Amino acid sequence: MRIPAIPARIFKSVRFLFVMTILLGIVYPAVVTGIAQLIFPDKANGSLIVLDGKVRGSSLLAQRFDSPQFFHPRPSATDYTYIGAGASNQGPISAALVKTVEDRQVTWERSYGSLAPEEMLYASGSGLDPDISVDAALAQVNTVAKARGLSDYSRRALVAAINEQARASKGLIGVVRINVMKLNTLLETDPEYRGTVTRQ
Amino acid sequence: MNSSDIAQLAIVGISACILAPFLGSYMERVYAGKPHPLAFLGRFERFIYKVTGIDPHEQMNWKQYTVSLLEFSFISIAVLFLILVGQGFLPFNPQKYPGLAWDLALNTAISFVTNTNWQAYSGEASLSYLAQAAGLAVQNFLSAAAGMAVAVAIVRGIARGTDSREGLGNFWADMTRSVLYILLPLSLILAIALVSQGVVQSISGYVPTLSFEGKNGLIPLGPAASQIAIKHLGTNGGGFFGPNSAFPFENPTPLSNILEMLAQILIPFAFPFLFGAMVKDKKQGYMLFMVMFVLLSIAVWGSLTSELRWGTLEGKEYRFGKAGSALFSVLTTITSCGAVNAMHDSLSPLSGMIAMFDIMIGEVIFGGVGSGLYGMLALVIVAVFIAGLMVGRSPEYLGKKIEAREMQLSMIAIIIPNFLILVLSAVAISLSAGRAGIANSGPHGLSEILYAYSSGAGNNGSAFGGLAANSVFYNLTVGLAMLLGRFGVMVPMLGVGGSLAAKKRVPQGSGTLRTNTLTFGVFLFFVIIIVAGLTHFPALTLGPILEHFLMLQGVKL
Amino acid sequence: MSTSDKSKKKGYSFTKDMLFSALGSAFRKLDPRIEAKNPVMFIVWVGTVLCTVISVVGIIQGTNASSWSFELQIIIWLWFTLIFANFAESAAEVQGKARANSLRAMRDTVVARKIGANGTIVKIPSSKLRKGDNVVCEAGDIIPGDGEVVEGVASVDESAITGESAPVIREAGGDRSGVTGGTRVLSDRIVIRITADPGAGFVDKMIAMVENATRQKTPSEIALSILLSSLSIIFLLAVTTLYPFSSFIAAESKAPNILSIIELTSLLVCLIPTTIGSLQSAIGISGVSRLMQKNVMALSGRAIEAAGDIDTLLLDKTGTITYGNRRAVEIIPVSGIDERELAAAALGASLADETPEGKSIVYFIRENYDDIQIDNQGIFVPFSASTRMSGIDRVGADGAADPLRSVRKGAFSAVQEYVLSLGGNLPKDVDGICERIAIKGGTPLVVSVGVHILGVIHLKDVVKEGIKERFARLRAMGIKTVMITGDNRLTAQAIAAESGVSDFIPEAKPETKLDAIRKAQTEGHLVGMIGDGTNDAPALAQADLGIAMASGTQTAREAGNMVDFDNDPTKVIDVVEVGKQLLITRGSLTTFSIANDVAKYFAILPAVFSGFYAGKSALSGPLEALNIMHLATSHSAILSAVIFNALIIIALVPLALRGVKYSPSHGATGILRRNLLLYGLGGIIAPFVGIKLIDMLLVAIGFA
């Protein structure tokens, strides 16, 4: 069978695509990766939280916390899964959303005995939002301290640490916020907050 | 709005307005082949021409230009389709993901080649690094470059002098220059800046973790920053990760959020200035910019007002807040970028409607890179025609007569996206295959479908994400919308460029309609609003507007 | 000319007969084959027929018992919409025809003296003349048609045709026998054989033009049709897709889908640009008839549009910028002669001179030397082509002419010959005076008494009164005026400065005009020119707007694309204005039509959708909030919008026929601003007011 000659123009398109793929699909990401790994190795590799040589998560990605010994992040519509994370995509007048929010309010009140800050009632967009408001963090302090058996001094130090993080997050732009993952890492690494808890 | 919201708005707006004129005049030099700061890359440019057999000085007429564009685009779709279907057999696939189903692969291939980046898949859950970097990211560059090249070619046609023997330029040279001197350098800078904020850039496999509470997990990584940079700069919008710019690895801080917003409006902001420089009448560029900017400001104001008053944090990231999310939702929809940092499905009804209307209006409020300019020019021609009649001259734009052919082609470019949005939405809502994808009941369900086809036909790519779009029905119909929404505008507008190029330039006199004046700008503004508004207001009435009034009555569905 | 004054007074008029004729035609145009020519109105026609059939079937089957009166009213108004639209076109056609007829009547009144079979002279209208007829013309007569001199010799003023201000001699036999209709015999008597059926061809063409105007679309009309059709397609899409959308919402809200075909059709008819769609051809036809009102006939609709576009206008100096005939401006005595003596002689020599030059001399002397006695004793010697002099012979005591006292005036060479023949001699300076006058572009006329030359009369081209203002107006319109003249540069410059023309081309040869037009066109200009002579024909054909004088040669008239029956070169301003008005009216009504839609949405959409999510107790649902006009009921709202849509067509017919006002004083941007406020903003506001008023009226009379 005779293979028909490829028209020169089509061949030109293919050649152009090929050259561009080498440049943009291989050289460009390789250069960016090289520079990134050289200058910001920690960030380029996912801002990982490594405790005792083990990767316990990323400070940018929330994870599921059920225990009162930890600060809890915002609700996740996809149960804090890393892969396939997402949102509820419920519309603004969704009755199901109203029901979920009411349930979350009840749960929060049961745990922390107050009205929940707004972000703790609504699921985040990524399902992995690591940030909460200062109010939401402070509301959880007593419960965490109690579960960890912290002294009153340590509890106050924890409040101070939260306020310090809040101050640090404040700038010209951006919301004042507390990173739950960093706060919980602090709980696990600083003996001050270790309390009576043993790390898993 | 608190002070940080205002600061964020001001930083994005002011820096874009300052940078755009410089970028615009730089781009003019690049496309005209004049000396410019990055000209030292010329050796590399010539090398590309040499190995690909391109003669950059070969002038193309509008038909040759169109044929090159279409051939290259369809070959790109075919190659990308093959990569996506065959990724299981290809390297750089640490998670051993299998190939995509044919309909999803076709949809995705069309999506990236048409600069839409509609994503019926979730990147980190289904694509190999090779498919992302060598498949999708490459098309992020090339589809953006194609849009820019086409816009430049059309403007050359308008600006061309009477006795010039030039054509509309050379497609391959315009593509190469767009990539080499504009998109690539900016992407490189932005990618590194994003990594500094925490965006990942790695080629090692996903990282196994043990959570604080002892559960096993797998943290996705990948060459994200390099792809995210062009995703914004090229107004593509396709996320490396499923939740797009809401995902902390894709958009980790308020500063990265600002950088991404700035990146997606930067080149579209520069295009009106490029236009002014090319037609040698800077005021023409300012006028187009002002019309676009006023439309943008109204959209931002409306969206912020609605979101701050009626919005919740559902589907939003705490670090961006309501204002940062609403602003992003407007900037991503006016520019046909389509990246999202909050779920549009959960926006307040009017903010969701503004996002949708930004797309429905056509790529005119800055629009995609390049596509925003020629999208706008279609409406400018309509406005020039009516206004030209109103001053008592048979209408002309920049000295070229606007006659039946230009009117016909411009109206085709305007009708096609509107036809796709309305007819495909009507088909989807009438068929059970279409209704099956709806996630929310009541008017919001209609909004999800309207948004999907608006996003496809408008080459935006964002979504009311609740819609289950990965079905054969949606993959094919949205694929059709993207394909026709792209080339159904590009080709007729190239025709307009070709037709105007062949026309004699009529000298300006005191009886000539001035198209660089405030009066004309105001008229153009109303033509855009009224044409788009009249077309889509009925459907929007039954979607977000009905939902808004239901919300005010306290109704929950 | 008096006719243009008359036409101004005539204005926009409509008699009862015309009204009935237009109405009848409006009904005949409901024929779908005719409606299909206008895509916008054809959509209305299809919708109306569909609604009528559905409603009638409903009434017969009794399925629309609750809504039949509403349906019937909607259907009636939809039919009215169609008839009103047709009426607009018919009215324009009827008016155009009336104009053509009146123009024909005007041509009838030119009187020709035809030589009958037995040699008697019969006075008949020139339009009754046929090829081969012989007519007599004497000094002062206008030649009634193109023809050939068969008897006699005469001086003829052809300045209107050739651009030459000097009279030309036309005589039987030889190659100077051709005369052109509209030229004036200045002296003597000739017999002319008519060589063309005059006028008839043009009047026929005119009537055809009116009747065919609907079928000849100009480029911008075609582009506008594409725009209107495209908008109609968009609205068709928006309205038809609304049905599945509302079905879905109806199902979701557990309400019946209240959207009926009648309501959808009403919405569609209100949204598509019916206003401009129905008035479009009326605007085009009225442009033709408005030109006719000004005694200008356009040979194509395209020419009228080109008239609005021209930015360069080529004008002959003579007859256009200056009076075709030269006028006395100065008398210069030779040395040793008193100025008053010369004045008295010049007056005497001109008293019997009926030529415009002669009259201008009398006028000049009487104005400037009012104490000079008129001495008209003697025998008048009229100007004749053979002597090229005129004057008066003083009579001596014997009653015979006394050559030594006879007064003569004429060309230098003729008077010189005459004086020398009487044995006189020439003053030294007369030659120099004549030369100086000639250099300034004037014409010297030498005056003699007996054997003495007393001095020279300076005849000069005089710029027409008001021409400066007209050029200023043209400049404001964005039109550059270029004067073409055979004069030398200095003279041309002087006249250019005096008349306010933008530019001039001196020392022009016949082919200069064509070259000038070609040059301007390659620079992208659209050029208009006015011409009449045969040598103007190529230039008239080349120009984008070529206005031929009806008095011009047949060749010229055929080369141009417009003919001016008043032979008034400044008429071009009116022509340009009509051309511009035509475009402005189209643009403004398009804007108005589209702007109207905003209010119609706020009338109809809440009306058809208010049932959704209405709940059990409430009568209307959340979308009632969009009923910002507070229209009474959903039926009254829809009906009001449809009625407004129909009535606005009728209301705008006079505007379409008269044209939107054009005032160039504010430049293009100023005109745009004015029309946007009037027709754009007005177009948004007017229907809000109109629909609300109709709604209140409907409620008051219990129709809804």
CB atoms within 10 A of CB B490: 27
Segment C339-356 mean pLDDT: 82
Q: What is the pLDDT of residue A4?
A: 44
ipTM of predicted assembly, 2 dp = 0.94
Q: What are the two backbone dihedrals, phi and then psi, of residue C297, each rounded to the nearest 5 degrees?
A: -110, 125
Burial B308-319 (b: 16+ CB within 10 A, else e): bebbbbbbbbbb
State how far the Cα of B387 lies from the Cα of C39, in Å rounded to an integer: 23
* Whether residue B92 has pLDDT greater than 90: no
Tell me how far apart the alpha carbons of residues B347 and C27 are, in angstroms, rounded to a whole number: 55
Q: Which residue has the tokens 């204002």?
A: B323
**Are C435 and C453 within one domain?**
yes
The answer to whether residue B18 neighbours chain A at the CB level (below 8 Å) is no
Exposed/middle/buried for C476, CB within 10 Å: 0-12, 13-18, 19+? middle
Instruction: Give me the torsion for CA of C32, C38, C40, C43, rounded to 10°.
Output: 20
Per DSSP bridges, beta strands C545-549 and C527-531 are parallel
Q: Is C471 on the interface with B (CB under 8 A)?
A: no
pLDDT at C8: 37
Single out the residue in C447, C462, C477 at which a domain terminates: C462
- The pLDDT of residue C188 is 82
The answer to whether the Cβ–Cβ distance between B519 and C580 falls below 8 Å is no
Looking at residue B212, what DSSP letter applies? Answer: T
* Per-residue pLDDT at C163 exceeds 70: no
Task: Please give the pLDDT value at position C413.
Answer: 84
Residue-level pLDDT at C617:
58
pTM of the model: 0.87
CA atoms within 13 A on the CB side of C306: 22
Residue C241 sits in the same domain as residue C94: yes
> Which C-chain residues 645-674 have CB contacts (< 8 A) with chain B?
662, 664, 667-669, 671-673
Q: Which of C536, C569, C602 is the last residue of a domain?
A: C569
Please tell me the distance from the alpha carbon of residue C284 to that of residue C95, in angstroms, as a whole number: 12
pLDDT score, position B518: 93
**What was the pLDDT predicted at C30?**
93
Same domain, C193 and C337: no
pLDDT score of A69: 93
pLDDT at position B216 is 94
Are B319 and B367 within 8 A, CB to CB?
no
CATH number, domain containing residue C134: 2.70.150.10
Task: Please state the domain count of chain B.
Answer: 1
More confident residue, C547 or C443: C547
Q: Which residues on A lie below 8 Å from B203 (Cβ)? A: 29, 33
How many contacts, defined by CB atoms under 8 Å, are there between B and C? 224
Residue C130 scores a pLDDT above 90: no
Distance of residue B334 Cα from the nearest chain C Cα, in angstroms: 22
Q: Is B510 on the interface with C (CB under 8 A)?
A: yes
What is the structure's pLDDT at C2? 36
Q: Average pLDDT, stretch B111-132?
A: 91
pLDDT of C373 > 70? The answer is yes
Grade residue A6 by pLDDT with cuts at 50, 70 and 90: low
- Dist. CA C666–CA C551, nearest whole Å: 36
The pLDDT, as a whole number, for residue C384 is 74
pLDDT single digits (tens) B250-308: 999 999 999 999 999 999 999 999 999 999 999 999 999 999 999 999 999 999 999 99
Confidence of residue C162 (pLDDT cuts 50, 70, 90): very low
Same-domain status, C468 and C456: no
- Answer yes or no: is B91 within a domain: no
CB contact B404 to C (< 8 Å): yes
Q: Residue C504: give its domain's CATH number.
A: 3.40.50.1000
For residue A106, count CB atoms less than 10 angstroms from its CB and return exposed for 0-12, middle for 13-18, buried for 19 or more: exposed
Look at residues C297, C304, C292, C291 and name the one whose alpha carbon lies nearest to residue C221: C304
Express each pLDDT in B17-35 by its tens digit. Answer: 999 999 999 999 999 999 9
Q: Output the 3-class SS for B436-475.
A: CCCCCCCHHHHHHHHHHHHHHHCCCCCCCCCCCCCCHHHH
Chain B residues lying within 8 Å of C230, measured CB to CB: 411, 414-415
- CB contact B205 to A (< 8 Å): no
Q: Inter-chain contact A126–B184, Cβ cutoff 8 Å?
A: no
Pair C151, C26 in one domain = no
Q: Name the active-site residue from C133, C146, C316, C574.
A: C316
Contact C252 B443 (CB under 8 A): yes
Q: Do C63 and C143 share a domain, yes or no?
A: no
Rounded distance between C-alpha atoms, residue C590 and residue C275, angstroms: 8
Helix (H, G, I), strand (E, B) or coil at B301: helix
Q: What is the pLDDT of residues B382-395, one digit of tens each?
A: 999 999 999 988 89
Is residue C455 located within the same domain as residue C341?
yes
Would you call C194 helix, strand, or coil by DSSP? strand
In this prediction, residue C4 carries a pLDDT of: 37
**CB A129 to CB B214 under 8 A?**
no
Nearest to C39 by CA among C213, C210, C280: C280
Q: Which domain holds residue C481?
A: 299-322+463-569
User: How many H-runs (helices) and E-runs (strands) does chain B carry?
Assistant: 21, 4
So what's the pLDDT on residue C1? 34
**With an 8 Å Cβ cutoff, are C676 and B522 in contact?**
yes
Which residue is closest to B210 within chain A, CA to CA? Answer: A56
Indicate whether C171 and C217 sit together in one domain: no
The amino acid sitting at B404 is: A
How far apart (Å, rounded) are the C-alpha atoms in residues B316 and A121?
Answer: 12
Residues from chain C contacting residue B510 (CB–CB below 8 Å):
475-478, 667-668
3-class DSSP state of C382: coil
pLDDT at B476 over 50: yes
Give percent above pLDDT 70 in chain B. Answer: 99
Domain membership of residue B150 (yes or no) is no
> What's residue B444's pLDDT?
96
pLDDT digits (tens, 9 = 90+) for B377-425: 999 999 999 999 999 888 999 999 999 999 999 999 999 999 999 999 9
Chain B CB within 8 Å of residue C223 CB: yes
Residue B427 lies in a domain: yes
- A134-143, B21-30, B322-331, C443-452: the lowest-pLDDT one: C443-452
Quick count: other Cβ atoms within 10 Å of Cβ A50? 12
Domain membership flag for residue B450 = yes
For C517-567, how does the pLDDT look when each residue is reduced to its tens digit (9 = 90+)? 999 888 888 899 887 666 777 888 889 898 887 655 566 667 788 877 666
Mean pLDDT score of chain C: 82
Domain boundaries, chain A: 8-41, 46-193
Here the tokens at position B232 are 């914004």
Query: What single DSSP character describes residue B367?
Result: -
pLDDT tens-digit series, residues B128-183: 989 998 899 999 999 999 999 999 999 999 998 765 567 899 999 999 999 999 99
The whole-number pLDDT of residue B528 equals 95
Q: How far are the Cα atoms of A45, B133, B277, C89 from residue C359, in angstroms, in the given order?
A: 106, 96, 64, 51
Q: Dihedral of CA B318/B319/B321/B325: which sign?
A: negative
Q: Is the pLDDT of residue C106 over 80?
A: no
Q: Which of A103-107, C35-39, C128-132, C619-623 has the highest average model confidence (pLDDT)?
A: A103-107
B211 touches chain A (CB under 8 A): yes
pLDDT of residue A80: 96
Which of the residue ranges C237-241, C325-329, C423-427 has the most confident prediction, judged by mean pLDDT?
Answer: C237-241
Query: Does residue B266 form part of some domain?
Result: no
C666 shares a domain with C597? yes
C376 and C455 share one domain = yes
Strands (E), C452-507: 452-460, 480-484, 503-505
pLDDT in tens, C309-318: 888 998 887 7
Q: What pLDDT score was predicted for residue C161?
A: 42
**Confidence band, pLDDT 50/70/90 cuts, at residue C275:** very high
Given a cut of 90, whether residue A66 has pLDDT beyond it is: yes
Instruction: Report the chain B residue with the minimal C-alpha distance to residue C244.
Output: B426
Q: Is position C316 annotated as part of the catalytic site?
A: yes
Domain count, chain C: 4
For B395, nearest residue in chain C (alpha carbons) = C220
Instruction: Supply the pLDDT for residue A35.
Output: 97
Q: Per-residue confidence at C10, pLDDT binned at 50, 70, 90?
A: very low
Chain B residues 274-313 with CB within 8 Å of chain A: 310-313
Please, do chains A and C touch (3+ CB pairs < 8 Å)? no
Contacts of C223 in chain B (CB under 8 A): 385, 395, 402-404, 406-407
DSSP classification of residue C142: B
Do C179 and C217 touch, CB atoms closer than 8 A? no
Percent of the residues in chain C that have a pLDDT greater than 90, as a whole number: 25
Q: Which of B353, B382, B394, B412 to mutate to test the interface with C (most CBs of C within 10 A)?
A: B394
Q: From C525, C544, C569, give the residue that closes a domain.
A: C569
Closest CA to A71 of A157, A9, A130: A130
Of the listed ranges A106-120, B1-15, B482-496, C661-675, the least confidently predicted one is C661-675
Nearest to B271 by CA among B111, B144, B423: B144
In the numeric block, which tokens belong to residue C26? 């409006």
Give the range among C451-455, C458-462, C583-587 with minimum mean pLDDT. Answer: C458-462
pLDDT of C523: 83
CATH number (domain holding residue C381): 3.40.1110.10
Share of residues in chain A with pLDDT > 90 (%): 83
